[in-house]
Each structure stands twice: as structure tokens, then as C-alpha cells.
């Protein structure tokens, strides 16, 4: 791996999850279906909890925003507020709809995070990372680099994933977790904010992701980006001067 800044200046490594530390399939084939299947029972079990009530309220606000958007209007399931039961059913249907559309609203992410938390705690779900991830986290920590995560999944969901991987808890290696509360992953401003919250210059941050839009946004903020391409054999390499890796083994091998 070559980099423009000298290696020891890159003392923060900011890492994406989906498609970078973890196969995308884990999210689409395990996490999302688990949340969808359990959303109704979860809301019923926790109805009356203030936190859950407030999440439903936030979902409803988001629903009303979506309703004002012409392209979504006709596609949205109805939201009926006649009584607690219809309110709950509406929240369930809207949440499922958001999951199938892969729309990442913060309230939904928090709700999914709580459902996954139960699943992880009951051992029904376990976090998955690529084989090169645990040794890289250990190596970079030994090199005194700070490892941080930036993913659109909620911070809670991120922590649960890294806590339960088969090789052992990886959260001890992670200095900070960021989700969409830091802003969208495709906007440079989000990366500036993250660097600011770490009290470091964006030039000292290495950002690893499988998504070109995120790479561009991080680069726009002054970070040093690396495009991580995992297993798509026929992937057309974008015409770019961005550093491309296939495994974390290539990043600061020590
Ligand atoms: Mg990704």
C-alpha cells in the first residue's frame, strides 16, 4: 500500500462495515430479515416503554415527511392512528417497508439496533467479519493507531457486531463508533465532523470503504481514502488514483 502522507502520520484508521469489515450478505441475509421478523413481537413486548414510544413517534414524524414526497406517496403503507393497536401495526408496516427499501432513517436504525441487541444477547445472531480483520485490528493497535468505525448501522448495532465475532470481542480495539448521527456517509461534512470530534486533522485519518461515493466524500474532507474491494472477481476497477486493497493484510502490514 502506498500513501501520500507518511505512514506514521496516519494515526487514525476509520473503517466502514458493510462490504469492508463484513460481507454485505450478513446485513441483507441475516440482520435485516431478523429485524423484520421480530419487529412486531418486539414492539408488543416493549409497548409502554418510554424509549420505544418515542421511537414510534419519531417513525411517525418521518412517515409524515415521506408522505409529503411525491415519489413516495403512493408507495407508502397507510398509517392509522385510531388506537394503540392500529398505531403499533402502522409502525410495524412502515418499518418493514423501510427495511425492504433499505431506507436508513435514524429512528428505524435505533429500533433495529434494539431488536438485534436482543438477538445477539440470546445468541440468535453473531457478528461476522472477514478473516483478516481481527489480526489487522490487533496490529494497528500495536502500532498505536486509533481504530474507529463509521457505518450507517446504529452505534449499538456496530458494537454488538464486533462484540460477538467468533474469534472474540473486538470492541476493545475500537476507539470510537460513528453512525448517521455524524451525518450521511456520502457528504464530506460528516468526515470533517468526525475528525473534529477526534480532535485530529483529517489528513491524519485513513478511511477504508468499499463505496466510491464515501471515498470521494472522505477525500473531500482531506482524509486519505482506501477503496476496499473484497470478493467481486469481475468488478470493474474504477478509473481512479485511489489506493485499492483486497484485504486488511495490505494496510500497515507491520
Ligand atoms: Mg460499505
Tell me how crowded residue 190 is: count the other CB atoms within 10 A of its CB: 21
- How far, in Å, is the centroid of ligand 1 from the Cα of 44? 32
Chain region(s) in the chain for CATH 3.40.50.1000:
7-22+128-250
- From the CA of 5, how far away is ligand 1's center (Å)? 24
Ligand 1 centre distance from Cα of residue 82 (Å): 40
Which residues lie closer than 8 Å to 4 by C-beta, 6 or more apart?
224
| Ligand 1 centre distance from Cα of residue 85 (Å) | 37
Nearest to 226 by CA among 245, 213, 248: 245
Find the 61 Cα to ligand 1 centroid distance in Å. Answer: 28
Q: How far is the centre of ligand 1, averaged over its atoms, from the C-alpha of 211 (Å)?
A: 6
Residues of the chain with CATH 1.10.720.60: 27-121
Q: Which of 136, 104, 83, 82 is nearest to 32 (CA)?
A: 104
CA–CA separation, 35 vs 211, rounded Å? 24
CATH code of the domain occupying 27-121: 1.10.720.60
| Distance from Cα 123 to the centre of ligand 1, integer Å | 25
User: Distance from the CA of 16 to the center of ligand 1, in angstroms?
Assistant: 6
- pLDDT computed for residue 237 by the predictor: 66
Q: Separation of 212 CA from ligand 1 center, angstroms? A: 9
Secondary structure class of 202 (helix, strand, coil):
helix
Check if the beta carbon of residue 126 is closer than 8 Å to that of residue 168. Answer: no
In the chain, what is the greatest distance between 2 CA atoms, to the nearest angstrom? 62
The residues, ordered by sequence, that sit 6+ positions from 139 with a Cβ below 8 Å of its Cβ are 252, 253, 254
3 CA → ligand 1 middle, Å = 21
| Three-state secondary-structure class, residue 72 | helix
Q: How far is the CA of 169 from the centre of ligand 1 (A)?
A: 21
pLDDT tens for the chain, residues 1 to 254: 544 456 668 899 999 999 999 999 998 899 989 999 999 999 999 988 999 999 999 999 999 999 998 888 788 999 998 888 999 999 999 999 998 888 878 889 889 889 999 999 999 999 999 999 999 999 999 999 999 999 988 898 899 999 999 999 999 999 999 998 999 999 999 999 999 999 999 999 999 999 999 999 999 999 999 999 997 665 566 667 889 999 999 999 98
The predicted pLDDT at position 136 comes to 98
According to DSSP, residue 168 is labeled -
- Cβ count within 10 A of residue 175: 14
Q: What is the pLDDT of residue 189?
A: 98
- Residue 126 near residue 119 (C-beta atoms within 8 A): no
Q: Which residues are found with C-beta within 5 Å of the ion, ligand 1? A: 16, 18-19, 210-211
Phi, psi of 16 (to 5 degrees): -80, 160
Query: What spacing in Å lies between the alpha carbon of 22 and ligand 1's midpoint?
Result: 9
Burial class, 125, CB count within 10 angstroms (exposed 0-12 / middle 13-18 / buried 19+): buried
Q: Name the residue with cell 486493497.
A: 245
Concatenated DSSP letters of 114-161: HHHHHHHHTTS------TTHHHHHHHHHHTTPEEEEE-SS-HHHHHHH
Give the Cα separation of 205 and 218 in Å (integer): 9
Domain 7-22+128-250 has CATH 3.40.50.1000: yes
pLDDT value at position 28?
87
pLDDT at site 47: 87
Say how many Å lie between the CA of residue 103 and the centre of ligand 1: 15
Amino acid at each position: 500500500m502506498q500513501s501520500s502522507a507518511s505512514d506514521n502520520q496516519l494515526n487514525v484508521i476509520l473503517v466502514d462495515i458493510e462490504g469492508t469489515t463484513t460481507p454485505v450478505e450478513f446485513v441483507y441475509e441475516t440482520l435485516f430479515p431478523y429485524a423484520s421478523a421480530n419487529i412486531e413481537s418486539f414492539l408488543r413486548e416493549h409497548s409502554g416503554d418510554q424509549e420505544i414510544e418515542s421511537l414510534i413517534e419519531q417513525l411517525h414524524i418521518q412517515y409524515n415527511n415521506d408522505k409529503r414526497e411525491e415519489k413516495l406517496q403512493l408507495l407508502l403503507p397507510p398509517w392509522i392512528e385510531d388506537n394503540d393497536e392500529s398505531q403499533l401495526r402502522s409502525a410495524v408496516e412502515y418499518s418493514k417497508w423501510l427495511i425492504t427499501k433499505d431506507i436508513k432513517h435514524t429512528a428505524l436504525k435505533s429500533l433495529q439496533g434494539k431488536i438485534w441487541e436482543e438477538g445477539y444477547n440470546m445468541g440468535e445472531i453473531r457478528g461476522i467479519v472477514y478473516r483478516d480483520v481481527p489480526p489487522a485490528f490487533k496490529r494497528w493497535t500495536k502500532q498505536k493507531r486509533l481504530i474507529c468505525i463509521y457505518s450507517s448501522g446504529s452505534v449499538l448495532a456496530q458494537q454488538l457486531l464486533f462484540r460477538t465475532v467468533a474469534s472474540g470481542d473486538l470492541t476493545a480495539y475500537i476507539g470510537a463508533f460513528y453512525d448517521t448521527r455524524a451525518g450521511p456517509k456520502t457528504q464530506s461534512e460528516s468526515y470533517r465532523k468526525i475528525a473534529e470530534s477526534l480532535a485530529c486533522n483529517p489528513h491524519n485519518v485513513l478511511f477504508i470503504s468499499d463505496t466510491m461515493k464515501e471515498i470521494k466524500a472522505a477525500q473531500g474532507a482531506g482524509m486519505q481514502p482506501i477503496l476496499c474491494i473484497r470478493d467481486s472477481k469481475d468488478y470493474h476497477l474504477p478509473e481512479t488514483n485511489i489506493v485499492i486493497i483486497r484485504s486488511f493484510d495490505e494496510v500497515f502490514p507491520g
